[in-house]
Amino acid sequence: MKSSEGGVQRLSAPPHGPPRPDAVAGEEPLEIRLGAEPVSVTMRTPGDDFALVAGFLLTEGLIQRREDLADLGYCPDSKHPELRNIVRATLAP
């Protein structure tokens, strides 16, 4: 799970002590593509993206079982290769 500790503090009611740094879960968009066709954009905490996409496709009725998926992979962004915010699903024949 991605998190950030910049400028966030956990506060407790006295006498529980002084403020201390706290982590906040990061959230980023994830575009889901079926082949080259965009299907959806959802917000998520990065991590387990392929499981999220497979579950999304199943619950939306776009696949019926695991064997319906031939491949899941990230679509790199040529301007920002470090980002992995697009997942392409390829259906089995």
**Can you give the pTM of this predicted structure?**
0.73
Q: Pick the residue with more confidence: 2 or 64?
A: 64
Sign of CA dihedral 20, 21, 23, 28: positive
Residue-wise pLDDT for 4-62, tens only, equals: 445 676 667 666 777 777 777 889 999 999 998 999 999 999 889 999 999 999 999 99
Count of other CB atoms within 10 angstroms of residue 64: 9
| pLDDT beyond 50 at 2 | no
Buried b (16+ CB within 10 A) or exposed e, 8-18: eeeeeeeeeee
pLDDT at residue 41 in the model = 96
Output the DSSP codes for 2-68.
Answer: -EE-SS-EE---TTS-S-EE--EE--EEEEEEETTEEEEEEEE-SS-HHHHHHHHHHHTTS-SSGGG
Q: What is the mean pLDDT of residues 74-93?
A: 86
